[in-house]
């Protein structure tokens, strides 16, 4: 359990720092009358956003929650405004708010003050609010005349359909299974991704004009790649990684040794109502945790089926020690609480079969990791009795039946930096099919691929992706939405441009290349504020059998707004007035109220500015940087 230090000790300058002794400060404030360095307002990407694989404008919708950024559409609820900001990068806020392991929160600069902002919890709140209030996706543009095939109806494919339709292209989704959803439906249990909420978010995509889906169709068997290439202008492959990796150990070929993907798929299809009594799950990631916890919930019914189900005994072995497992910490803690025996720092050696060829024992040993390779510790071997072994050690794409041309030899699809499939003319790919990772990574891939496909259809050849791959803040868009955009520039050479209305003055956008670091903020501005926590329903081992109810509760509106207020708005002004209050020359002032927008709250009179850079020192968000003045 992480301990939060509530005694804040941040100081930008220590006692005795010569840079700011009184004599020097006195001359800067009272004697200088010429400046070659004045404040410039620099937008940079916050680490939460750069750490989000789908490129969410996290800071943007937290600003909406806190009430700083108000909708330009009169009467629009703040939740609706935040929802529309979220879906610019991710059309599944309800699902991702529940299951994403939140790398954004690990990156959050507020960790250096007290505790990260509850980004996931607020996304969960807004996503559920949008469903309860039946918010559709916004209107899409007119059709371009181009038609794109999306193969796979999981998070990558569905997100690609949304982003491609936003570009004006018609989309047909091909899905092998009977329902859309991919890993959100077939790879994660319903108590983590409630099916009614999942169906609502998928339904929004299918409700879009000129987006259709053909389920129960396997490309490569029911329709060939050649037919796709003939009928469609571009093809996106979002087929996921549906094949579990095997383990090259003696006995691993037994019929009662299966993959985690197979186990969860059978459960989520309703085909698994009982399981074996003694189960060994080998893994350490979220999939292995899901397998173990589902097995504990399903229970075991004897061969005659006459007795009530009883809890199964589940051992989960991980090569890494507990704190280094890739599974999220809350999921690990829940699994232990629910009676899963996690044996960390352990590797399997062999599986021992009976006369019928079924595994009855597993031989394991303690191990230590040297890099990514496990090394057995001699003399620590032991055996456990097992009835079923589930391997959750990785996945690969299913590229059999007519799709071998896409296989890079490693069970995945090889793409370049723009997500174009190598060696093809109009194929693109994303998600687990190119590299198994997070659901939000698949969605981020879909957004990037949609941009690449759109450019490809326009005859533009992209060579590489941007340095900071996000759906970022755009001051020009913000001003335009509020009818504050600059006047048309005459392109005539003139002097005294500071008074001109044809430019955005005193501002620079470095969001595409710069991520603002914690050291660039004035953290002394922020006091300790406890994070608003979602209520969690913890299930204990004697209660878990048959319990498939959701474990986490959504925040209240009050809690959601408080979390918005905890955001430090890294790299963007959040209207604290520090620069206005502390400027000794009254050179910094608020922009007139009718001209304000996000990022345009203060302005500097360079004729008054003496370059003392006090405004930059007291700026909590790092938005002010000293640059050339007059």
Residue 589 to residue 598: CA distance in whole angstroms: 15
Which of the 8 DSSP states describes residue 109?
G
Dist. CA 472–CA 429, nearest whole Å: 23
The secondary element (H helix, E strand) that includes residue 624 is: strand 624-628
* pLDDT band of 277, cuts 50, 70, 90: very high
The CATH number of 246-395 is 3.50.50.60
* Maximum CA extent, the chain: 95
Residue 307: is its pLDDT beyond 90?
no
Give mean pLDDT, residues 473-498. Answer: 81
- Give the per-residue pLDDT at 13: 67
Query: What pLDDT score was predicted for residue 108?
Result: 97
- How sure is the predictor about 562, in pLDDT bands with cuts at 50, 70 and 90? very high
Distance from the first to the final alpha carbon of the chain? 53
How many residues can be counted in the chain? 630
Residue pair 237/219 in contact by the 8 Å Cβ criterion: no
**Please, which pLDDT band fits residue 456 given cuts at 50, 70 and 90?**
very high
Most confident of 19-23, 79-83, 423-427: 79-83
DSSP 54-100: T---HHHHHHHHHTSS--SSTT--HHHHHHHHHTTT-S-HHHHHHH-
Task: Outline where 258-406 has alpha helix (H).
Answer: 260-268, 286-298, 329-337
Q: Give the Å distances, CA to CA, from 384 to 256, 260, 390.
A: 15, 20, 14
CB-based burial, 311-345: b 16+ in 10 Å, e otherwise: bbbbbbbbbbebeebebbeebbebbeebbbebbbb
Does the pLDDT at position 251 exceed 50?
Answer: yes
Which pLDDT tens digit goes with each residue over 389-410?
Answer: 999 999 999 998 889 999 999 9
Domain with CATH 3.50.50.60 in the chain: 147-242+397-457, 246-395
Handedness of CA 59, 62, 68, 70 (dihedral sign): positive
Per-residue model confidence as pLDDT tens digits over 507-533: 899 999 999 999 999 999 999 999 999
Predicted confidence band at 487 (pLDDT cuts at 50, 70, 90)? Answer: confident
Q: How far apart are CA 148 and CA 232, in angstroms?
A: 6
pTM, 2 dp: 0.92
In whole angstroms, give the CA distance from residue 260 to residue 183. Answer: 12
Strand partners, 147: 170
Q: Which CATH number does the domain 147-242+397-457 belong to among 3.50.50.60, 3.30.750.24, 3.40.1440.60, 1.10.760.10?
A: 3.50.50.60
Tens of pLDDT along 115-166?
999 999 999 999 999 999 999 999 999 999 999 999 999 999 999 999 999 9
Residue 373 sits at φ, ψ, to 5 deg, of -105, 130
Instruction: Count Cβ neighbours within 10 Å for each residue of 187-226 and write b for 16 or more, e otherwise.
Output: bbebbbbbeebbebbbebbeebeebebeeeebbbeebebe
What does residue 533 show for φ and ψ, rounded to 5 degrees?
A: -100, 140
Q: What is the mean pLDDT of residues 365-374?
A: 94
Query: Tokens at residue 525, please?
Result: 């501005």
Place 28 in a pLDDT band, splitting at 50, 70 and 90. Answer: low
CB hemisphere CA count around 217 (13 angstroms) = 18
- 605 three-state secondary structure: coil
Cβ contact 175:214 at 8 Å: yes
Mean pLDDT of the chain: 92
pLDDT at position 610, please? 85
**pLDDT of 1 over the 50 cut:** no
């Amino acid at each position: 359990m992480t301990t939060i230090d509530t005694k804040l000790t941040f100081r930008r300058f220590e006692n005795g720092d010569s840079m700011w002794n009184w004599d020097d400060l006195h001359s800067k404030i009272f004697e200088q009358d010429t400046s070659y360095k004045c404040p410039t307002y620099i937008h940079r990407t916050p680490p939460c956003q750069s750490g989000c694989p789908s490129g969410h404008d996290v800071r943007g919708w937290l600003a909406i929650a806190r009430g700083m950024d108000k909708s330009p559409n009169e009467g629009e609820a703040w939740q609706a405004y935040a929802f529309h900001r979220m879906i610019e990068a991710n059309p599944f806020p309800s699902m991702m708010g529940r299951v994403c392991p939140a790398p954004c929160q690990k990156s959050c600069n507020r960790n250096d003050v007290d505790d990260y902002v509850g980004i996931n919890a607020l996304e969960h709140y807004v996503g559920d609010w949008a469903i309860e209030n039946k918010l559709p996706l916004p209107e899409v543009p007119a059709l371009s005349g181009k038609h794109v095939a999306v193969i796979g109806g999981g998070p990558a494919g569905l997100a690609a359909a949304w982003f491609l339709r936003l570009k004006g292209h018609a989309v047909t989704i091909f899905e092998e299974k009977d329902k859309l959803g991919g890993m959100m439906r077939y790879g994660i249990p319903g108590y983590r991704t409630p099916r009614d909420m999942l169906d609502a978010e998928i339904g929004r995509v299918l409700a879009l004009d000129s987006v259709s889906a053909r389920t129960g169709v396997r490309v490569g068997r029911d329709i060939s790649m050649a037919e796709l290439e003939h009928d469609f202008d571009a093809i996106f492959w979002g087929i996921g990684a549906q094949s579990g990796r095997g383990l090259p150990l003696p006995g691993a070929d037994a019929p009662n040794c299966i993959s985690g993907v197979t186990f969860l798929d059978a459960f989520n299809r309703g085909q698994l109502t009982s399981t074996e009594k003694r189960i060994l799950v080998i893994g350490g990631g979220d999939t292995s945790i899901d397998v173990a916890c589902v097995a504990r919930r399903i229970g075991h019914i004897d061969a005659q089926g006459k007795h009530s189900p009883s809890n199964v005994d589940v051992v989960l072995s991980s090569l890494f020690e507990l704190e280094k497992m890739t599974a999220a910490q809350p999921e690990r803690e829940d699994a232990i609480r629910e009676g899963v025996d996690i044996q960390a720092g352990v590797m399997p050696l062999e599986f021992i079969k009976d006369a019928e060829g079924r595994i009855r024992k597993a031989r394991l040993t303690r191990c230590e990791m040297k890099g990514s390779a496990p090394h057995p510790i001699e003399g620590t071997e032991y055996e456990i009795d097992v009835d079923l072994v589930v391997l959750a050690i990785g996945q690969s794409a299913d590229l059999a039946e007519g799709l071998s041309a896409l296989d890079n030899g490693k069970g995945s699809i090889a793409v370049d930096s723009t997500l174009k499939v190598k060696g093809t003319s109009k194929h693109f790919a994303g998600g687990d099919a190119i590299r198994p990772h997070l659901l939000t990574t698949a969605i981020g891939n879909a957004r990037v691929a949609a941009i690449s496909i759109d450019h490809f259809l326009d005859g533009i050849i992209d060579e590489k992706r941007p340095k900071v791959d996000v759906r970022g803040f755009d001051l020009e868009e913000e001003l335009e939405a509020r009818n504050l955009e600059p006047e048309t520039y005459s392109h005539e050479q003139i002097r005294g441009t500071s008074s001109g209305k044809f430019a955005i003055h005193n501002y620079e956008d470095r969001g595409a290349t710069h991520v603002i670091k914690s050291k660039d903020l004035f953290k002394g501005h922020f006091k300790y504020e406890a994070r608003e926590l979602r209520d969690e329903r913890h299930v204990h081992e004697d209660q878990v059998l048959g319990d498939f109810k959701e474990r986490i509760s959504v925040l209240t509106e009050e809690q959601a707004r408080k979390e918005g207020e905890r955001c430090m708005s890294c790299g963007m002004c959040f209207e604290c007035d520090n620069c206005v209050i502390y400027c000794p020359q009254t050179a910094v002032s608020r922009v007139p109220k009718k001209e304000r927008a996000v990022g345009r709250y203060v302005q500097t009179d360079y004729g008054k500015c003496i370059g003392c850079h006090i405004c930059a020192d007291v700026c909590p968000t790092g938005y002010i940087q000293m640059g050339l003045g007059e």
